[in-house]
């Protein structure tokens, strides 16, 4: 995709591979993922260290028992969760904090719709499977913290421990990720020239409202 000769590359996300980290519990909301007091930032840089902060640390900043605190999961990139993950407010800081912690894909029983949409905007697949499949995967990750999990977004499969299981990827999400059209900001920038030309053709668009060429 180009804009006046400038290439805008949006990577295709059809496959994610990495070790897993299990987060157990239903209805884990965005306030648990990133407490509101950490949202007062100019950029999202550094949010990763505050992911799950209030369930990872007590009032004196002493570590609690949480997978994100365990050394064996520090290089993990595939989050394995249960049902209705990411419910609550629509804060985009939640997936931003997970991404900046190191998460590239999330496998779960179900996701809050807005949270899944915010993940898609970052190129993070949110794939679903039934509760038994998720529990088996979480147990396997517990026993194999360095074990590789392969998420095939296009084929809708997850492979681990020599076994492949079927998962579900929302049709629109799968197409956006596989076709490399998930980054809407980049898409808008890549088509800025066409938008400007169309605006110039429309008699009811004031000149001041037409974006300048970059």
Residues 87-140 pLDDT 10s: 998 888 999 999 999 999 999 999 999 999 999 999 999 999 999 999 999 999
What's domain 12-181's superfamily in CATH? Aconitase, domain 4 (3.20.19.10)
Higher-pLDDT residue of 183 and 162 is: 162
Helix-strand-coil split of the chain, %, nearest 5: 40, 20, 45
Position 211 confidence tier, pLDDT thresholds 50, 70, 90: low
Cα 74 to chain centroid distance, Å, stands at 17
Packing angle of the helix pair 113-120, 93-101 (nearest 10 deg): 50
What is the rounded (10 degree) CA torsion for 195, 198, 203, 206?
20
Contact 124, 98 (CB under 8 A): yes
Instruction: State the Cα–Cα distance between residues 146 and 140, nearest whole angstrom.
Output: 10
pLDDT for 31 beyond 90: yes
pLDDT of residue 194: 46
pLDDT score recorded for residue 44: 77
Q: Against a cut of 0.75, is the pTM above it? A: yes
172-209 residue pLDDT tens: 999 999 998 865 554 444 444 545 565 566 776 566 55
Kindly report the number of other CB atoms within 10 A of residue 60's CB atom.
5
Provide the 8-state DSSP code for 45.
T
Please return the burial class of 58, using the count of CB atoms within 10 Å of its CB with bins 0-12, 13-18 and 19+.
Answer: exposed
pLDDT confidence tier of residue 21, bands split at 50, 70 and 90: very high
Burial 157-196 (b: 16+ CB within 10 A, else e): ebebeeeebebebbeebbebbbebebbeebeebbebbeeb
Return the pLDDT at 151: 98
User: Mean pLDDT over residues 164-168, rounded?
Assistant: 98
> Per residue, what are the HEC states of 86-109?
CECCCCCHHHHHHHHHCCCEEEEC
Q: Are 70 and 6 in contact, with CB atoms under 8 Å apart? A: no
The CA dihedral of 111, 71, 32, 159, to the nearest 10 degrees, is 0
From CA 119, how far away is CA 175, in angstroms rounded?
Answer: 14
pLDDT tens profile 53-78: 999 999 999 999 999 999 999 999 99
């Amino acid at each position: 995709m180009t804009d006046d000769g400038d290439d805008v590359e949006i990577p295709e996300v059809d496959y994610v591979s990495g070790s897993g980290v299990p987060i157990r519990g239903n209805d884990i909301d965005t306030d648990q993922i990133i407490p509101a007091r950490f949202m007062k930032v100019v950029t999202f840089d550094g949010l990763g260290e505050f992911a799950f902060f209030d369930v990872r640390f007590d009032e004196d900043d002493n570590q609690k028992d949480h997978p994100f605190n365990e050394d064996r999961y520090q290089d993990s990139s595939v989050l394995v969760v249960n049902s209705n993950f990411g419910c609550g407010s629509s804060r985009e800081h939640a997936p931003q904090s997970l991404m900046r912690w190191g998460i590239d894909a999330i496998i779960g029983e179900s996701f809050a719709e807005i949270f899944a949409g915010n993940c898609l905007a970052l190129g993070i697949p949110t794939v679903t499977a039934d509760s038994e499949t998720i529990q088996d995967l979480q147990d396997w990750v517990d026993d194999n913290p360095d074990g590789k999990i392969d998420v095939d977004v296009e084929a809708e499969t997850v492979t681990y421990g020599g076994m492949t299981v079927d998962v579900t990827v929302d049709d629109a999400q799968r197409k956006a990720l596989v076709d490399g059209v998930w980054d809407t900001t980049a898409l808008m920038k890549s088509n800025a020239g066409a938008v400007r030309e169309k605006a110039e053709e429309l008699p009811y668009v004031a000149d001041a409202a037409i974006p300048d060429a970059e």
